[in-house]
Amino acid sequence: RSAFSNLVFNAIRYTPAGTEITLRWYQNAAGAHLEVDDKGQGIDPAALPHLTERFYRIDKGRSSSTGGTGLGLAIVKHVLLRHQGQLEVTSKPNVGSCFTCHFPVQVTTSVSASDA
């Protein structure tokens, strides 16, 4: 829950008022997936590899005006790793960003006593 709420709060924080933010949940053979997709300012491709580093800020001026410590995405990564998950980020400057949490899912089959 904290990973997903961090992503939602970031989308709200860095997306202009009145701009669309889409939340998606889906499951397939690869696992369960949670997406936070915004039509905000996007992220410079050079910054993408550093987003989950502790205290990393893309633009120190922008970050200080919107608050935050630079720990949110590091926490997201840590939470996902503890659950064998991964964070995928796609972004284009002036178009928006999509943060996807991927979680493995184990499918179990229940066998009742009468079937055994």
CATH class of 2-103: alpha beta
Which pTM does this prediction carry? 0.80
By CB atoms closer than 10 A (0-12, 13-18, 19+), residue 67 is exposed
Which is more confident, 78 or 107? 78
Side-chain half-sphere exposure of 84, counting CA atoms within 13 A: 6
Give the mean pLDDT of the chain: 86
Tokens of 97: 């960003």
Q: What is the pLDDT of residues 62-80, one digit of tens each?
A: 555 556 677 889 999 999 9
Confidence of residue 112 (pLDDT cuts 50, 70, 90): low
pLDDT band at residue 21 under the 50/70/90 scheme: very high
Q: How far is CA 12 from CA 31, 67, 106, 108, in A?
A: 26, 12, 32, 37
